[in-house]
Amino acid sequence: MKYFILFEDNPDSDPNIRKTHMSRHLAFLEQNKGKVEAAGPLADPENKGRDGLWILEADSQAEIEKLVHEDPFWPTGLRQSYAIIPWTQVFAGCVSRFNVT
């Protein structure tokens, strides 16, 4: 099943924390590209990026929670919370990139 994971950043975290841990975070996403189909920050009014969003394929919410807690961003205090949102894809403009079931 497909899921959206919506991350909320801690507004009190060190402003450089994202940059400091980004290479490890990106390596983690690369290692899990079989599950994480897309990931990235959301835009804030200053367009600096904040919070985050993953689109992934997983068998269970427990599997997702394990991934979230293994992400190098999690133990840094950058992430304040996350929501796991099940999603049923009914359309994909680029069928070669997505599996529509």
Instruction: Write down all domains in the chain, each with its CATH number in brackets.
Output: 2-87 (3.30.70.1060)
Spans in the chain with pLDDT lower than 70 = 47-49, 94-101
DSSP 8-state secondary structure symbol assigned to residue 86: E
Average pLDDT, the chain: 89
Q: Pick the closest to residue 54 from 38, 67, 69, 71 (CA basis).
A: 38
**pLDDT for res 15:** 84
Distance CA 34, CA 5 (A): 16
In the numeric block, the tokens 């920050």 are attached to 41
Give residue 79's pLDDT: 95
- Percent of the chain at pLDDT exceeding 90: 75
Q: In Å, how far are 42, 44, 60, 86, 95 from 89, measured between CA atoms?
A: 21, 26, 17, 10, 11
